[in-house]
Amino acid sequence: MFDSLTLAAIPPEDEALRPQVRALAQEAVASLPLEQRARTWMGHDAAFSRKLGAAGLLGLTLPTEYGGGGRGPFARFVVVEELLAAGAPVGAHWIADRQSAPLILNFGTEAQRQFYIPRICRGEALFCIGMSEPGAGSDLAAVRTRAERSTSGWRLSGQKIWTTGAQHADYMIALVRTSGGPEDRHAGLSQVIVDLKLPGITVRPIEDLAGDEHFNEVFFDGVELADDALIGAEGQGWSQVTAELAFERSGPERIYSSLVLLDGWLAHLRKAGRNDDATAALVGGYVARLAALRAMSLACTARLAAGESPVVEASLVKDLGTSFEQELPIAIADDLASHDNPVDPDLMRALTYITRVTPSFSLRGGTREILRGIIARGLGLR
């Protein structure tokens, strides 16, 4: 079952990007403590994102005519893998590069492509995603934010919440209702691109349990949008979002959120001379799982490269990947707390941070239960 997922190797021309990315990533993290690097794709550094753009390392999957790399998903895989393994602060461009630009390429008008994509590729246009609302979490079709036709375009009213990076972003791609009501479910939903500098928009950061401000409440009070704010077809928002989520769920970030911590722990074990059988078996179990997950993620990348939208396959990888990411810090904490070797305070701080935020790994981008429902549908059970 799911036989379309099959082992795939990174093409040499994409693999060739690795040394350049690594050098940039190492430079960016050289002065950052482990605790900061553990934030990886939740870390915001707009200057670093522009630097990646200038080096031609953003928009790798996008056509060159829009300023992209004209390569494919494997090139992006290599870049993303290196950035996350180093713990580089990639949050600023993350969403635009991963899903907003491909969405605009797939569903946008020529004018929209010309307007947004080149700036995304330069790291100059930062995006956030307006999906969740107070009454619409896993049940995304329950969104109530409305865009109504006005004389000049659309008038937007409502509220989004848990919007990652909205306080830094230039634009939001929002899933909104353009007709009908919540009882119409998937019908009547559309996606609009909202310039977050427009009047009538209020962004309020929400402090998270680690003391960071990464997600936000966003209020729309009769925001006047131009006619071309609509992206894709009116009423097709649900199918567009589904395709977008396949991009969001299939990447290596669903495996590597705890990788910096794993390296920190390995350094600790090596320094302490802990090479007994029990320790080795504990370490080995995680690296075996990591290998299987990386192979699965590469297989998913091959489906994207073939032009498919591997919705079910991406859910498989994300669910298994986030389980790995969540179990790892628990095991490391148990190991460190059960041995007497002194632990570097920076490692402890990174562990504390990761331990606190790990529950979010299986919430963001679709909860574990929703993903398993998608897999069950793939098995023909619903």
Q: Would you please indicate which residues are annotated as catalytic (active-site) residues?
A: 248
Give the binding range for other proteins (CB under 8 A) out of 27-35, 108-116, 162-170, 271-279: 271-279
The 43-82 contact track toward other proteins, x by CB under 8 A, reads --------------------------------------x-
Whole-angstrom CA distances from 126 to 25, 240, 311, 323 are: 20, 20, 25, 29
Q: Among 64, 270, 308, 359, which residue interacts with other proteins (rule: CB under 8 A)?
A: 270
- Among all chains, which residue has been given the structure tokens 């230039």? 170
Alpha helices in the chain (DSSP H): 12-15, 18-29, 34-37, 46-54, 73-86, 91-95, 101-107, 110-121, 237-250, 253-256, 259-271, 277-305, 311-337, 345-361, 368-378
Q: In whole angstroms, how far apart are CA 229 and each of 37, 194, 332?
A: 36, 7, 47
DSSP for 354-378 reads HHHHHHHHTTTTS-HHHHHHHHHHH
Q: Is 231 helix (H, G, I), strand (E, B) or coil?
A: strand
Is 232 in contact with 246 (CB distance < 8 Å)? no
- Closer CB to other proteins, residue 235 or residue 378? 378
Question: Mapping DSSP to helix (H, G, I), strand (E, B) and coil, where does residue 235 land?
Answer: coil
Query: Which C-beta is closer to other proteins: that of 81 or that of 133?
Result: 81
Per CB under 8 A, does 155 bind other proteins? no
CB 158 within 8 A of CB 146: yes
Task: Determine, following the binding rule CB under 8 A, whether residue 2 of this chain makes contact with other proteins.
Answer: yes
Q: How far is the CB of 90 from other proteins (least distance, A)?
A: 16
Instruction: Using CB under 8 A, pick the residue from 11, 15, 198, 236 that binds other proteins.
Output: 15
Q: How many other C-beta atoms can be found within 10 angstroms of the C-beta atom of residue 172?
A: 25
- Which residue's CB is nearer to other proteins, number 128 or number 314? 314
Our CB check for other proteins shows the closer of 203 and 363 to be 363
The answer to whether 10 and 74 have CB atoms below 8 angstroms apart is: yes
What are the angstrom distances between the C-alpha of 176 and each of 41, 158, 277? 26, 9, 55
Which 281-300 positions form the footprint of other proteins (CB under 8 A)?
281-285, 287-296, 299
Residue 197 CB, shortest distance to other proteins, in Å, is 39
253 binds other proteins (CB under 8 A): no
Among 63, 182, 200, 373, binds other proteins (CB under 8 A): 373
Stretch that binds other proteins, among 160-168, 212-220, 280-288, 348-356 (CB under 8 A): 280-288
Residues contributing to the site for other proteins (CB under 8 A): 1-2, 5-7, 10, 15, 81, 85, 259, 262-263, 266, 269-270, 274-275, 277, 279-285, 287-296, 299, 316, 319-320, 369, 371-373, 375-376, 378-382
